[in-house]
Chains A and B, each alone.
Chain A
């Protein structure tokens, strides 16, 4: 339904399999991520969304199958990753600005280039709080924004987001979502989002993949042709509501289809 040519794909997943204690979570999953797209993955609890994103980002070893970034492995690719738990993902002994500089220093970039990139990010995200503070001195939303800036510092080929806003309040989530969507689109950054919030999965993506219970299959591949930039008003537009209904129907059907063994 959404044929993606190999030239268009920033990431190609083929035959990805993973089992925990003999229970297959993924059994031969195929997936392509179009360059410049934001893809979100949605499915019932425990369907292996996080397992999938972690295998793609190289944080978890797959049992078999391949994940290729333009033909290269994840070790050879430049990726960014935003964790759900910003409190444990940032380095609390470094100031916020140094957290953002850290991946650039790991790459051995010269100081002037590092500072230039930091300024770009501050401008792009319209940062108005003091980055000279330590992470624990910032609010949750500010900390997660620092995490996002750190992940984007190296100008990654793909940005992975694992439940990035689930620990934040709704007001903060809405404004961060809008901000992130705008920056990702303006810079044509390829991203993959895992979320357990259907509204967020749609609002922040160009395409939603609906997964079944484990072993996860892709039951629907839903395009989200809503115009960017998107804001709170997008959430009540008829197109959005229609997409959400389609996803919800698929979700309900897939949850009912295979009742979880007790």
Chain B
């Protein structure tokens, strides 16, 4: 309970500063509504408006691209990590596209997948897959040599060493990659919802609210997006603690 106090105080402080800015009329009220108004508009949109549906769509797209990214990135990363020479050969390409802003790839993916749902999910999956692949490969390559030797001396062949040792050794790093991957997927999905022909999603709601001067809803949608990112990160941190209980010990 004690650990909860500082973040709560921080959040209250943030709202107070915001309220103060409203009182002091730092900005036009149309551009900067009060916290109470923002909360009211957001709640109304969640209950009666489109916001709940938008959140659902964004979560669905993010999870779908994350699942696709993991299904590709984990096995490919483990396989490449197990053959270090091969990974070194493709490392530059992986690093290059991992460093390329995904938004720069939108036009290319539009050409490849059209203006529908598939493009948003494909770009997000592409970006997340590279992050996951990179982490999985490094997890395998950094496996403790002694553990591999121990399995070898007990008579484990290459396949058993891969399944019984390397995958487990890489698991902490794989989960770190997945956590980074899901965050990245959310970022790309939200941006894609703004700019790639969308009718729903949090990104779409933010940009729509901005164009219609529904400032309260705009701020609310931004906060919802933030809460979503925070929750996904927290969820994966908890999963890491639960599934890799031996990490760091």
Contact = CB atoms under 8 A, between A and B. Distances in A.
Interface string B55-88: 0000000000000000000000000000000000
Interface string B11-35: 0000000000000000000000000
A11 to B, nearest CB: 15
B246 A136 contact: yes
Contacts, number: 49
Contacts of A106: 154-156, 160
B147 A89 contact: yes
A165 B155 CA distance: 24
Interface residues of B, number: 19
B13 to A, nearest CB: 40
Nearest to A160: B153
Contacts of A136: 246, 249
Interface in A121-173: 134-136, 150, 154
A59 B49 CA distance: 67
B152 interface: yes
B155 to A, nearest CB: 5
Contacts of A107: 155
B144 interface: yes
Contacts of B152: 59
Contacts of A78: 155
Interface in A94-116: 102-103, 106-107
A88 B146 contact: yes
Contacts of A6: none
Contacts of B171: 93
B149 interface: yes
A51 interface: no
A148 B102 CA distance: 52
Contacts of B165: 91
A222 B156 CA distance: 36
B152 to A, nearest CB: 7
A92 interface: yes
A84 to B, nearest CB: 9
Nearest to A88: B146
Which 8 A-B pairs rank lowest in CB-CB distance, beginning with the nearest? A92-B246, A136-B249, A88-B146, A103-B154, A81-B153, A89-B150, A88-B144, A93-B168
20 contacts: A57-B153, A58-B153, A59-B149, A59-B152, A59-B153, A78-B155, A79-B153, A81-B150, A83-B146, A83-B150, A88-B147, A91-B150, A93-B168, A102-B164, A103-B154, A106-B156, A106-B160, A136-B249, A150-B154, A154-B154
Interface of A: 57-59, 78-81, 83, 85, 88-93, 102-103, 106-107, 134-136, 150, 154
Given A83-B150, A93-B168, A93-B246, 15 more contacts: A59-B149, A59-B152, A81-B150, A81-B154, A88-B144, A88-B146, A89-B146, A89-B150, A91-B164, A91-B168, A102-B154, A106-B154, A106-B156, A136-B246, A154-B154
